[in-house]
Structure 1
Amino acid sequence: MNNKILTTLEFPQVVKQLLPFMVTAAGKKEALALLPSTDANEVASRLVETTDGADLLRIKNGIPLPKLVDITEPLKRLQVKARLNGTELAQITQVLRASAATKNFFDDLLEEGIELRSLPQQVEQLVTIPTITKRLIQSIDPDGRINDEASSRLHGIRQLMVKTENEIHSQMSSYTHGKKAKYLSNPTVTMRNDRYVLPVQSRYRNQFGGVVHDQSASGQTLYIEPGDVVNANNRLKQAQIEERQEMIRVLAELSRLITPYRHDIANNAIILGHLDFVNAKAKLAVKQQASLPQISCNNQVALRQARHPLIDPQKVVANDIKLGGDYSTIVITGPNTGGKTITLKTLGLIQLMGQAGLFIPANENSTIGVFDNVFADIGDEQSLEQNLSTFSGHMDNVKAILEQVSGQSLVLLDELGAGTDPKEGAALAMAILDKLGTIGAKVVITTHYPELKVYGFNRSQTINASMEFNNETLKPTYKLLLGIPGQSNGIQIAQRLGISDDVINEAQSFIGDDSQDLNEMIGDLVDQRRQARERNEELQSRLAKQQSEQAELDEKLNRFAENREKLMNDARREANHQVASAKREANRIIHRLRQLETKGRVVKENELIDAQGKLNALHRDDPRLKNNKVLQKAKKRHDFHVGDQVLVKSYGQQGSLVAKRGQHKWEVAIGILKMEIDERQLEKISVKELRAQQSKQGQQASKRAVHTTQTRHTTARLDLRGKRYEQAMNELANFIDHALLNNLSPVTIIHGKGTGALRKGTQQYLAGNPRVKSFNYAAPNAGGDGATIVYF
């Protein structure tokens, strides 16, 4: 792939969009070296990696990687047996920790049954050194500081240093807080030459023995080390020297430990960087709303709603672009600033992105080819000055392209033949297109020449295209129209801008009838195409709406089927219960008849058996019970209207329907509370049942005003300790609802002390609940600030 095309199509700018998503130096280095591949297998492999990254981003929010710096130089120094410093060892430790964590992450994916295509094989190459990693973690802090646990000797030395410093501070405090404090410039202890000293006023020098280490700029203060502190300072200084020597020994030992594994560690850093690069590709795909492209073995390109990745998504115009199959050359004509050049760049840049293993900013099921090279001659041809040097520059580019192009190449030419006499330019452009067609390359060009419109119509494997132009507003829409050549709109634009009619009429007289007819024909085609597109968009909108309504109807049908089956089963059980009762009654009657027979009255046995059989026939399992009163009664229980009295089965409470919320939910008033409840949890109460309940409640006036049939055990205490914050807040809300419904007051919320998060969340919820009258901490012997008492 030639480097010039990367710059021309701004491929490096796309690569730079990956960098903000990356956390490793090795990953950024790999990204900056990214180039499109010309090998179909490698392109497919790269896209599989990106697909794995996109799957992990969707399922696990990506591969968890820490920030990793470049460890190339420290590893090179290990090769010559150098001693690394603490910071360098901390950086290498981070790579080893990340390697172990990444392997564990992918092992967990395997246990969860999440299968990936490519990345697990790469992760298997990571080398973990558990023993050495543990030693490094124990010895070196992430900031490079050597821990006390790095060696027993270092631990002992630092304990001695702490003890000595405490002794020095104790001795110094006798000066700063004792009788001699009045001789000090400032009653503080400071450091000079790594030794603890006192700031003494110079005129009181003789009040202190010891060593003078420094004096102030004015000479009024001397920094003196008292004589009785000298020995302690000497011991501290000796300990500090021993500490430095032991730290050097520890660093050398740790460096020797990892030296045999320097190649494995370097390879680990590269693999982790590659995983970081895959993460970044997946995140960029989400940002660009990009999709996985399919690969065509014969270089057919079919981009659905392709968008230029470097243009603001709110402003970019998407286009369908097809190349290959029925035609291998596209001739795009149309006015300036209509979007021709951007269309060329969009096609070329998306092709480069796909061959580099990136998802492309186009709709799903888009197809790219794998070209051995992409060539482009794209320049700003919007200037009014077209001179020979410009034409020569374009021809130099075209000459280089013709010398390198093959039948597996993609060629993009902007304003082919421009910069010279229009007749000669058009003739040269057609000859160049014929040459490229003979070679078999895929070609897209833009031009203003009307001769090329005829060329696009007459040549096989060639199709005309244009950028749509609104004849009513005389403004471009930036939509690509395949199969329709561009219309010349110069005279129309001049007329709209106010050029006098006599000039316009004379200009039109200079144009041949054939040209005018062609322009009118193209204009009609463009209008018809735009109307067809608008109609298609309208039909697509209607289709989407109908599909949504169909899905809603399907859901309603499923719920209806579920409810119908439940109602049928309930009705069947009720009918069977009634039949069983009838059978018992029939048996009683038969028994009575037999008693009558024993008293002298003759009753035939076959009559009794027939009666018994008819009664047994009433016990049926047929689910289709038509005109069944029990079934009708059950259906009426679920025919809801605003104001109906209902039983809320999940709470065992009676309420009234206030308003419908959504397809299958109702707002229900239960006493002073209002809740949104699914209608499957509701059952209508008949007037007769309501009166019976009211009568029963009247007899129980001494009890609660709202009769509660508890469906769960409700206590006056809720224990939230050990719960996650979200779970605890949900349980708290449910507990307060049940406490209100059961007239429990006060109640106790046990949230513990801990970090204080549950306590703060509990009290914030209670403060915002209008039914809470007050709340405060429990008594010291009942939990103190680890529990809250709530009054309603």
Structure 2
Amino acid sequence: MNVKALNVLEYNRVKERVISYAQNEVSTALVQVMNPSTDKDWVTAQLGRLDEARIINMQGSEPGMSTLTTVHSLTKRAHIGSMLSVTELNRIKNNIRVTNRYKTYILSLTSGGDVSLPLLSAQFQKLPVLSHVSDEIDAKCDEAELRDHASAALYDIRQQKKGINRRIKDKLDSIVRSQANQKKLSDAIVTIRNDRQVIPVRSEYKQDFPGIVHDTSASGQTFYIEPNSIVELSSQLNTVAARENEEVSRILYELSGLVAEAHHEINWVTEVMGELDYQLAKAKYGHSLKGVIPVIEDERTIDLPFAWHPLLDPATVVKNSITFGDDIHSVIITGPNTGGKTVTLKTVGLIVLMAQSGMMIPAAEGAALSIYHEVFCDIGDEQSIEQSLSTFSSHMTNIVSILQEMDDRSLVLFDELGSGTDPAEGAALAMSILDRCLEKDVMTMATTHYPELKAYSYNREHVMNASVEFDVETLSPTYKLLMGVPGKSNAFEISKKLGLELSVIKHARQLIHMDNVEVNEMIAALERNTRQAENDRITMERLKKEAEQLHKELSDQYAQYSRQKESLIEQAKQSANEIVTKAEKAADDIIKDLKTLRTEQQGIKENELIEKKGRFKDLYNETTLKKSRTAEVQEVIAPGDNVKVLSYGQKGVILSVDKEEAVVQMGIIKMKLPLSDFKKEQPEKDKQIRVVPRVNRQTIKMELDLRGERYEEALTRLENYLNQALLSNYGQVTIIHGKGTGALQKGVQDYLKRAKMVKSFRGGMPSEGGFGVTVVELK
């Protein structure tokens, strides 16, 4: 990709924002060398890895890898026999431990089946196990030096060293604490000079402290003397320190050898972790944009629904759908200055570069692009004082280069094509350049002020007009892009708003050729129709997404129902088998008792035989709900009659009668059943119910809608609502919390678990609102 396009489109500013999300120097280095690729397979693979990194980022439980560092130079030194320091060994240990943490995290994340990370799972399963290297380094090294127990020899040496240091310190302390020496010393402290412990002696008492002078003060009034009484001990200390250095070097060489044996594996795991954090950084930046992963098409495509420039504030930027229609190769954008034409060009160019770098792009779901081998730009003021080139000449120099290098896999962006010269010649030149792009089958976007180019698409194939909208009422651009509609002149409307006399405007209108008037009227009609079509498309897109979401929820619910159904059937079979087995055993026992009675006792009492036979009836399991029973004599049933519903064994009240059927109310259930299923009953006597009057009682709904509420306010409303529902004798209520991120749903259900007035609760069925509601049963 040419450097000029990267600079003009501010690609490096996007890289800087991605770097801000990188956790370590390894991934930072990868972002710094990131560039768009023209290899479709590479881009597709990068987007696949990015998608899995996006899923990890959404979990919110990533272990973190800020301690990961570049270790290639360290492993190379170890491999050629050099000794690594404790700090360098700890860097290698940290890389191994970061890898182990992520390996455990990713495998545990995918083990339940709820999260699918096929690429990362396969990659991490292949990674070598290097715990023996990190464990050995950790056992022998702390943060800055070797541990005393790194070896038995090192422990003994350091114990000797500590003993000699104590003896030296004790002797020096006795000297400086001596009352007789207080006036002879500059300070009653022991200090260090040339790695030797010394005492500060006033110059006039130097002869009172025989020993080695290691230093003097700047004024010459203080001598730093190592007394003869500790010289021998200091020499012993130096000898022990030398032995310590030898043992430390031996251990570090031993640990460096472990690193050397696994240098390829250590480099491999470091690269894998750096690549993962590189993808995580891109995913985090993409989420900050609320971007999407684009679809990469084989055919040349630019389809960017609701796209915006990634360097603008997503909260305030106007999002536009930029789509090259079927068989469209060129789009000509017209409109007022500062209306957003140049930003539109930069948006398309930068989004293409981001997609070909394996990044999420600022657009809505369904965005699709193809791979372009080059992106060429002629955007901005190219005037060069050093080269003595005018704006027009500088632009033309750049355009000449573009026309020579472009091909059918290029994307070319022209800003104010043909400007900077005579309008007639500039317009003709612009059309000629666009014709050359069409001849070479190049994807082109161009902005222009020339009215001649508004009609360009009507007598050319594969060309489409577009414009940026201008609000005449506010005299300001709306930054909305209208695809398929050329921009119209607003000079008369603007002049009228600014107070120009109507007679002047009327005279100006008469001077305009009628063709221009008709063209402007046509453009105005096209604007209205396009705006309406865009609104209709947005509505259809929203309805489509809602339908897809509903279909997904229903599919999930049906799958859950199917699994539950199979489980219940299996349980029912097992229960039935157990019942049959118990019944067979009980029947065998009864038959055995009957046979015994007949053989052993000739005079069997009738009541004993009946009792034994009656035990067979106890083996039947009576159905719990519907019974195959009908009335022996069909009675005349009328609305308001109290009846017993024979097939259900329940009492009810007849609501209406229709020929041979009637609608009956059983509790809260209404059913339509045949008249033969009813038996008249006497109405129950009214129970005396004590009525307790309530003052200012409020009627509350059976449902509480918490969508859009802040977390704390929602829980406060929930508590008040449940208290009111309990006072209103409601048995069941519905809490609407929506789906969203799931945080409000979790907070509501956590509160319901603790609430004393709640008997039970469950998620909503699809007909009730699915996962967006919780149904609560009150005590």
Alpha-carbon distance in structure 2 between the residues aligned to 1:366 and 1:53:
19
Matched, 1:349 2:350: yes
Alpha-carbon distance in structure 2 between the residues aligned to 1:659 and 1:164:
89
Alpha-carbon distance in structure 2 between the residues aligned to 1:148 and 1:287:
49
Alpha-carbon distance in structure 1 between the residues aligned to 2:233 and 2:73:
42
Mapping for residues 59-458 of structure 1, pairs under 5 Å? 59-62=59-62, 64-113=64-113, 114-141=115-142, 143-180=143-180, 182-183=182-183, 184-380=185-381, 389-458=390-459
> What amino acid is aligned across from residue 41 of structure 1 in structure 2?
D
Maintained 8 Å contact 1:665/1:676: no
Residues 94 and 22 (structure 1), Cα distance of their counterparts in 2 relative to 1, 3 Å cut? same
Maintained 8 Å contact 1:665/1:679: no
Give SS of 1:418's match: coil
Aligned to 1:15: 15
Residues 159 and 470 (structure 1), Cα distance of their counterparts in 2 relative to 1, 3 Å cut? same
Larger deviation: 499-508 or 474-483? 499-508
Alpha-carbon distance in structure 1 between the residues aligned to 2:494 and 2:89:
71
Alpha-carbon distance, 1:14 to partner: 1.2
Give SS of 1:364's match: coil
Maintained 8 Å contact 2:383/2:394: no
Alpha-carbon distance, 1:353 to partner: 1.1
Alpha-carbon distance, 1:483 to partner: 1.7
Q: Normalised by the size of structure 1, how large is the TM-score?
A: 0.67
Maintained 8 Å contact 2:303/2:322: yes
Residues 500 and 161 (structure 1), Cα distance of their counterparts in 2 relative to 1, 3 Å cut? farther
Give SS of 2:333's match: strand
Alpha-carbon distance, 1:261 to partner: 2.5
Alpha-carbon distance in structure 2 between the residues aligned to 1:209 and 1:145:
37
Maintained 8 Å contact 1:21/1:280: yes
Alpha-carbon distance, 1:472 to partner: 1.3
Maintained 8 Å contact 1:202/1:221: yes
Alpha-carbon distance, 1:468 to partner: 0.4
> What amino acid is aligned across from residue 52 of structure 2 in structure 1?
D
Alpha-carbon distance, 1:158 to partner: 1.9
Residues 196 and 632 (structure 1), Cα distance of their counterparts in 2 relative to 1, 3 Å cut? same
Alpha-carbon distance in structure 1 between the residues aligned to 2:109 and 2:91:
27
Alpha-carbon distance, 1:73 to partner: 2.6
Question: 1:727-774 CA distances to partner (integer Å, 9 max, x unpaired)?
Answer: 9xx99x989x99xxxxxxxxxxxxxxxxxxxxxxxxxxxxxxxxxxxx
Alpha-carbon distance, 1:148 to partner: 2.2
Alpha-carbon distance in structure 1 between the residues aligned to 2:440 and 2:400:
14
Maintained 8 Å contact 2:383/2:391: no
Residues 201 and 150 (structure 1), Cα distance of their counterparts in 2 relative to 1, 3 Å cut? same
Alpha-carbon distance in structure 1 between the residues aligned to 2:426 and 2:374:
26
Matched, 1:626 2:652: yes
Larger deviation: 215-224 or 314-323? 215-224
Aligned to 2:601: none
Give SS of 1:21's match: coil
Maintained 8 Å contact 1:484/1:522: yes
Identity, in percent, stands at 36
Question: 1:616-674 CA distances to partner (integer Å, 9 max, x unpaired)?
Answer: x969672875349998699x99xxx99969xxxxxxxxxx99996993599xxxxxxx9
Maintained 8 Å contact 1:165/1:236: yes
Alpha-carbon distance in structure 1 between the residues aligned to 2:446 and 2:104:
53
| Equivalent residue pairs, number | 608
Question: 1:395-433 CA distances to partner (integer Å, 9 max, x unpaired)?
Answer: 333333333333333222222222332222222322332
Alpha-carbon distance, 1:32 to partner: 1.8
Residues 402 and 382 (structure 1), Cα distance of their counterparts in 2 relative to 1, 3 Å cut? closer
Maintained 8 Å contact 1:27/1:273: yes
Aligned to 1:564: none
Maintained 8 Å contact 1:643/1:658: no
Larger deviation: 184-193 or 468-477? 184-193
Residues 61 and 209 (structure 1), Cα distance of their counterparts in 2 relative to 1, 3 Å cut? same
Larger deviation: 536-545 or 299-308? 536-545
Q: Specify every segment of 5 or more residues in structure 1 that has no aligned partner in the other structure, as ranges.
A: 549-611, 646-655, 667-673, 687-726, 739-792
Alpha-carbon distance, 1:341 to partner: 0.9
Alpha-carbon distance in structure 2 between the residues aligned to 1:374 and 1:453:
25
Alpha-carbon distance in structure 2 between the residues aligned to 1:505 and 1:176:
109
Residues 252 and 665 (structure 1), Cα distance of their counterparts in 2 relative to 1, 3 Å cut? same
Give SS of 1:73's match: helix
Residues 632 and 97 (structure 1), Cα distance of their counterparts in 2 relative to 1, 3 Å cut? closer
Alpha-carbon distance in structure 1 between the residues aligned to 2:704 and 2:336:
56
Matched, 1:663 2:689: no
Question: 1:688-713 CA distances to partner (integer Å, 9 max, x unpaired)?
Answer: xxxxxxxxxxxxxxxxxxxxxxxxxx
Q: Normalised by the size of structure 2, how large is the TM-score?
A: 0.68
Alpha-carbon distance in structure 1 between the residues aligned to 2:192 and 2:176:
15
Residues 344 and 165 (structure 1), Cα distance of their counterparts in 2 relative to 1, 3 Å cut? same
Residues 187 and 35 (structure 1), Cα distance of their counterparts in 2 relative to 1, 3 Å cut? same
Residues 453 and 41 (structure 1), Cα distance of their counterparts in 2 relative to 1, 3 Å cut? same
Residues 530 and 153 (structure 1), Cα distance of their counterparts in 2 relative to 1, 3 Å cut? same
Question: 1:209-251 CA distances to partner (integer Å, 9 max, x unpaired)?
Answer: 4443333333333333344333333333332222222222222
Alpha-carbon distance in structure 1 between the residues aligned to 2:273 and 2:336:
50
Aligned to 2:26: 26
Give SS of 1:374's match: strand
Give SS of 1:17's match: helix
Larger deviation: 223-232 or 152-161? 223-232
Q: For the aligned residues, what is the CA RMSD? A: 4.5
Alpha-carbon distance in structure 2 between the residues aligned to 1:75 and 1:300:
46
Alpha-carbon distance, 1:291 to partner: 0.9
Residues 509 and 619 (structure 1), Cα distance of their counterparts in 2 relative to 1, 3 Å cut? closer
Alpha-carbon distance in structure 1 between the residues aligned to 2:668 and 2:468:
67
Larger deviation: 51-60 or 246-255? 246-255
Larger deviation: 388-397 or 13-22? 388-397
> What amino acid is aligned across from residue 652 of structure 2 in structure 1?
K
> What amino acid is aligned across from residue 622 of structure 1 in structure 2?
Y
Give SS of 2:171's match: helix
Give SS of 1:396's match: helix
Alpha-carbon distance, 1:332 to partner: 0.9
Residues 474 and 525 (structure 1), Cα distance of their counterparts in 2 relative to 1, 3 Å cut? farther
Alpha-carbon distance in structure 2 between the residues aligned to 1:56 and 1:626:
57
Maintained 8 Å contact 1:63/1:279: no
Residues 380 and 625 (structure 1), Cα distance of their counterparts in 2 relative to 1, 3 Å cut? farther
Maintained 8 Å contact 1:417/1:425: yes
Alpha-carbon distance, 1:160 to partner: 2.2
Matched, 1:55 2:55: yes
Matched, 1:485 2:511: no
Give SS of 1:18's match: helix
> What amino acid is aligned across from residue 345 of structure 2 in structure 1?
L
Alpha-carbon distance in structure 1 between the residues aligned to 2:414 and 2:192:
75
Alpha-carbon distance in structure 1 between the residues aligned to 2:536 and 2:296:
32
Alpha-carbon distance in structure 2 between the residues aligned to 1:523 and 1:427:
25
Alpha-carbon distance, 1:525 to partner: 4.3
Alpha-carbon distance in structure 2 between the residues aligned to 1:480 and 1:382:
28
Maintained 8 Å contact 1:495/1:504: yes
Matched, 1:464 2:504: no
Maintained 8 Å contact 1:299/1:324: no
Maintained 8 Å contact 1:140/1:147: yes
Maintained 8 Å contact 2:51/2:293: yes
Alpha-carbon distance, 1:443 to partner: 1.9
Alpha-carbon distance, 1:451 to partner: 1.4
Maintained 8 Å contact 1:661/1:676: no
Q: Specify every segment of 5 or more residues in structure 2 that has no aligned partner in the other structure, as ranges.
A: 550-630, 634-642, 655-663, 670-685, 707-717, 731-746, 758-779
Alpha-carbon distance in structure 1 between the residues aligned to 2:205 and 2:701:
88
Residues 134 and 287 (structure 1), Cα distance of their counterparts in 2 relative to 1, 3 Å cut? same
